[in-house]
Structures are given as C-alpha cells and as structure tokens.
Chain A
C-alpha cells in the first residue's frame, strides 16, 4: 500500500514512558511461532520488548516513543509471516479481568482459611471422642475464629455485595441465603466458643464460601474467555478506510479513528467501512450483507450508504455520519431498544431456583426454631438447631449446579466452533422450538460464487477467469475464485461500467455486461434459471456464454435444515431480499414458510406473531437489518462474517462456512439444560436427606462438612457429562 498509514489510535502509554500496542495475531500455536515473533520484533530498532500471550493469541509490543512507527511493526509482523491486527482492549473486558482477579484472590483466601481451620477442626472432632481437654478445645476454637472471621469477611464480599444489591431492590437472589447462612454460622460459632461448647461451625462457613467461589470463578472465567475471543475476532475484521487529511492528500486509517464529518474515498471493489452520505461520484452498491437485498442499487451524490456494503463500479467520496444521523441505523437503534425490553422478561434458571429456594429455607429454619421452643427446648438450643438448618441448606451444591454445567457446555460449544456471550444462552437454546433464518449471508455464503459453471463450455469459463484478473469489480473476483485463474491476459484493459476487453491471437475477447457482449437474449434465459443472480457475459470471437454469479447456499445448508426439521423444529426464512430470490432458496432447502422483502420492523412483527402463538424462536441472521430481530428473538446466533451490530446483538457467533454449528448449538443447549435440571434435583435430594437430620438437631460440624463437600463433588461430576462430544 502506498499511502501513509496512521495507527496512532491503538497506541497506549506503557511503563517508563514507553509506548505499547496490543495485536491480535492469527495462527500462533507453537513455541517456534512465539520465538519467531518475539525475536523478530525485538530486532526492530527502538522496540524494547514483545511478549506473546498464547492463551488468547495476542502480542503486546513496547517501544521508545518517536523511534518506531506503529505501521512498521505491522509490516515487520507480515515479514515474519504472521498477519497482525491492532486493537484496543475494551472497557468491558478490562473490568471483567479485574473482577476475575479479585474472585481468584477471594478463592485463594477462602482455600487457605478452609485448609487451616479444617486442620484444627479435625483435631477437635477426634478429641471430642477421645481425651481433648476443654482448654485445648477452646484454644483451637479461638484460633479457628482468628482465621475464619477476617477470611470469611474478605472472601464473602462478592456474595454480601450482591445480596445487598438484591435486597435494596426488594428481591431475593441466591446470595441472600448464602450471606445469611455464612454470617449466622460465624456469629453462632463465636457465641458457642465463648460458652466453651463442643461444636463450632467456622469450618462449615469457610468451606461453603470456598465451594461457592469456585462456582463464581468458573462462571466469570468463561465470560472473560468468550469476550477475549470476541475482541480478537473484531480486530481481525477491523477495516481501514482511505481518509482525506487535506483537500488532496489521502491516508489509510483504521475505521475506529474516523470521526463524524471526515471525508473518505471508496474505490470500486472496496467494502464501505462507515455510514455516510455520498458527496461525489456515482456507483452501484451491493447492500446484501446489510439489508439482504441481492440486487445492486445505484447511488450518487446525496445518497446514504452504510458500513458493510460493497462498492461495485465507481469511485465515490463519502462524508462520515455521526452515529445518530444515519436513518437506517437510527431506525434499527430504536427497534433495538424496544427489543431489549421484551428480552429482559426471561428469568434465568438459577434465579428461578433462588426465588423458590430462599423462602422455603428461611421458613424451614423459622419453623424449626418455633417447633423446638414448643417442644420445650430452651431458646438457646432451639436457635442453634435453627441455625444449623440454615447452614446445612446453604445452597452449596446449588451454587455449583448451574455454573459448572455452563462452563463445561460452553467448552463443548467452543469445540463445535460456537462462541456464546453468557451462560444463560444455553438455557434459551434448549427452549427454542422454531428456527428463523435470514437468507443472504446466513443460509448463503457471504461471498458471491459462480452458479452455472457446469452449463458453460469449460474453455470459456477458464478464459473468463483470466480476463477477470484484470478487473477490480467484485463479480470478477468471484469468477477468479471459481476458476482459480492465475495468468492474466496480456494487453487486457478494463472499461469502467462495461467490462474487460482483450485481443488474443487476433480474436476479440470480452468479459462484462451481457448487452455489450451482444448476449442480451441469452441473458434472459439464464436470469430465469437463477432469479437472484447477477449476470456477466463472456465472448470470444463467435463463441459466447452468460455466467450467473450469485450467492450459493452454505455447503451443508440443505442437510442442516433437513436435520432441524427432522428433529421437530419449525424452520422458516425471514429475508430482506426480494421475494423471487427468497422462494428460490426456500425451494432448494425444502422450507415451506418463507417471506421476502421484510424491513427490520417486519421481521420483529413476524417474531412477535410467533411468540403470540407460544413459539420460542431462535433467530439466525447476519445483516444490520437483522440486528433488531436478533435482539428480540428468544435466542439468536450470527455467522462470524456478520455486520458488527448484528454480532453484538446476537447471543452467539459461529465460525466457518458450515451451518452445522447451529444444529450443534441446539443439541448442546438441550443437553446442558437437562443436566442443569438434574443437578438442581440432586441438590434438592441432598436437602431432603440432610434437612430432617438438621431439624432433629443431630447435625454436628463433621456431618455438615461431609454433606457439603459430598453434594458439591456429585454435582460437579454430573456437570462434566455435558462436555461430551455432540
């Protein structure tokens, strides 16, 4: 690239006054790659350090400011053989990482305290059945208190904070019974120690926190991992734009560095990276990735263009919009806000369990207390038994029951090439019974391909490929890709708006508009066979043919849709493309319910209608116009090449050309939900056994410890089943 490149937006200050930049890098997977990158970058004068992070496929480079141009570092990476993409770590990912570190420290503190207290507790338990003196027991209890009180107050903070937030909003979540159980156990143990009692529950309180923190940490780690992958993918897709820095001077900058009012130049064959208004030039725009419409639209000065659309024929100058200015985007944004409201009605399984669980537990404890008073026990004994009921019912297994399944199942999804945004997506995947597909870019591949290669003389197709090498037109790129041509025709010239012309051994060759190739009549017949295709003609002397170029279905689209229908899902197609193209795709997929020409609001209306029928819809879509529908659907997925807004709204993203991940996602989601419910029942069963013992006043700290760890381990082992291959 010849123009100046400006990557300064990605540079951040580092320690000791150095500058640093984070790069997402494709294809690092071994020690040799790491060494090549780190040594290669360090050899660059001015670079003070480069560090590869293999876990999240990133490189951090530091250099002396002023001595190195960030663009040179990218060139250097290219020379080493890796394609690097700069990015900035989002605020969300940053706070997520801090929160995760805090949980890990809490976990370490709780683990340390649990181990040491257990050491003392086991001595007491053993002593209680042999010959421990009351003084030694008190000493051990006081030592336990010394460790447990500060440790539990520190490590319990995440739960206390969350319980406090819930109570302030007059709601109950799982953290309310947890906090109550822990605090009461600690308080009671201190009082019991003061009374020289035999039993103290410091070990139960701390062990409970330890197990729950494991669940909390797993949940958080999963979220951060998916977010890191999403940031990398966004960086790999990040586009650059050619910006006018003065009247005449242009410079390639990342799209992230553009501001409203900037002028950018878009040449034929380039994807437009911004929303804006055309101020100069005239061209045809392929908006299929944005609106689903496969027919190109003509634009000229004054027309609006959108990020993600492809400039086909002419060079245009575009003035960048501010975010709220774009009419389509503003409409989409308004619909999105509305859609988010309907989504929030869904209640996560864990919260539903908590709503049932917390009142039952507290009521049981209260009834136990009253029961023992009535039965004639002193208030002190009654209170202690009531508190042991609270301790034994503290949702230790319940706290692990769902996060453990989420972590294991999202690992299984990851192997099936699907990334999900949060754990509760699994539950919603399991509930879906209707699948609505967008057509363009979702059922079909995002790139155009040659549809009628078999119907055309092979020699002509090969010639078309060679001629196409001379053109920058996107349709030409599709022909090149289909033929694998590598040898351009010498002397070929491109006439903008018409095609490529050349003379081979005295015979004239032409690739371009059918009218200019005197093939308008044949073009009509081909158009009828492929209603959604763009046509391009090849003529060589007297021989000629019309090639149909259009969006081919994803390689496994037919099998996947058939498999979905066989599995009992209702499948439909909701597309923004024109009706003829939609029914063509629907016919080849065997989908009876389909609709074309839908605007974003129409798609939502369709989803609402399905919801009114009691259907839970999974939406699979990629375009800007799908974003509101993705947000409104019960659950949604996007292919990885979807527009940015669609990906942000979707619950998950699948990678690669195949559509099979959709099927895998549903299957893994169903199994995950089944195991979650099994786990909840296991937790209930545990309570059914342990609670009567506690109510009877027979629970000792030893029984509490065994019951808690036993049920937690059982639930975790059961969760591991959700990771088996789909």
Chain B
C-alpha cells in the first residue's frame, strides 16, 4: 500500500492543476464572451499571416 504515498498526492496535484487552470482562464476573461468564441474559430484571416 506504500504506493498510495505517491499516487494520492499525484492525483491531488493534478486536480489542483486543473483548478488553477480554471481560475486563471476565468481571471483572464475567457468566460466573458461564451458565444463569440464559437464564431471566432471560423475566422480564416489569421492563417495567411502564419
């Protein structure tokens, strides 16, 4: 059962990573416009520049 000593913190760490990512994405305004993003993905004009 010693393997739990690694696995549990690992699982928690991954969970915290997800939580951190969510808080970051919210603070950076990614949830401000939930409809616009669906349309922005159709904008092809940025392809030519790359």
Contacts and interface: CB of A to CB of B under 8 A. Distances in A.
Given A109-B19, A112-B15, 15 more contacts: A30-B39, A31-B39, A31-B42, A34-B36, A52-B33, A53-B32, A53-B36, A54-B36, A55-B33, A55-B35, A55-B36, A105-B26, A115-B15, A136-B1, A136-B4
A25 to B, nearest CB: 13
Interface residues of B, number: 23
8 contacts: A34-B40, A52-B36, A108-B22, A108-B23, A109-B19, A115-B15, A119-B11, A143-B8
A119 B45 CA distance: 46
B12 A116 contact: yes
A299 interface: no
Interface of B: 1, 4, 8, 11-12, 15-16, 18-19, 22-23, 26, 31-36, 39-40, 42-43, 45
B34 A55 contact: yes
Contacts of A56: 33
Contacts of A31: 39-40, 42-43
A56 B4 CA distance: 48
Interface residues of B: mostly helix, strand, loop or mixed?
A: helix
A127 to B, nearest CB: 11
A105 B36 contact: no
Nearest to B22: A108
Contacts of B23: 105, 108
B4 to A, nearest CB: 7
A54 B35 contact: yes
A139 B7 CA distance: 13
Contacts of B4: 136, 139
A35 interface: yes
A363 to B, nearest CB: 39
Contacts of B22: 108
- Which of A115, A116, A133 has the most C-beta atoms of chain B within 10 angstroms of its own C-beta? A116
Closest 7 CB pairs of A and B: A54-B36, A31-B39, A53-B33, A54-B35, A112-B19, A55-B35, A55-B33
A112 B11 CA distance: 11
Given A55-B34, A105-B23, A34 B39 contact: yes
Interface in A219-257: none
A54 B33 contact: yes
A119 to B, nearest CB: 7
A101 interface: yes
A120 B16 CA distance: 16
Contacts of A108: 19, 22-23
A395 B18 CA distance: 29
Q: Classify chain A: how many residues form its interface, as a range.
A: 20 to 34
Nearest to A135: B1
Contacts of B36: 34, 52-55
Contacts of A55: 32-36
Nearest to A35: B43
Interface string A123-147: 0000000000100100100010001
A166 interface: no
A373 interface: no
Contacts of B43: 31, 34-35
A115 B16 CA distance: 11
A112 B23 CA distance: 12
Nearest to A104: B26
B39 A101 contact: no
A384 B23 CA distance: 37
Contacts of A54: 33, 35-36, 39
A409 to B, nearest CB: 21
Contacts of A133: 1
Q: Which of A55, A115, A133, A143 has the most CB of B within 10 A?
A: A55
Contacts of B8: 120, 143
B45 A35 contact: yes
Interface in A650-696: none
Nearest to A115: B15
Nearest to A151: B19
A34 B35 CA distance: 11
Contacts of B32: 53, 55
A56 B33 CA distance: 8
A20 to B, nearest CB: 14
Interface in A48-105: 52-56, 101, 104-105
Contacts of B18: 112
A136 B45 CA distance: 58
A101 B26 contact: yes
Nearest to B27: A101
A279 to B, nearest CB: 46
Contacts of A101: 26
A116 B39 contact: no
Nearest to A56: B33
Contacts of B12: 116, 147
A108 B31 CA distance: 14
Contacts of A35: 43, 45
B11 A116 contact: yes
Contacts of A105: 23, 26
A101 B35 CA distance: 18
Contacts of A139: 4
A618 to B, nearest CB: 33
A104 B30 CA distance: 13
A89 B19 CA distance: 30
Interface string A391-406: 0000000000000000
Contacts of A52: 33, 36
Contacts of A34: 36, 39-40, 43
Contacts of A119: 11
Contacts of A30: 39
A116 B18 CA distance: 12
Contacts of A136: 1, 4
A52 B38 CA distance: 13
A143 B9 CA distance: 10
Nearest to A133: B1
A425 to B, nearest CB: 25
Nearest to A147: B12
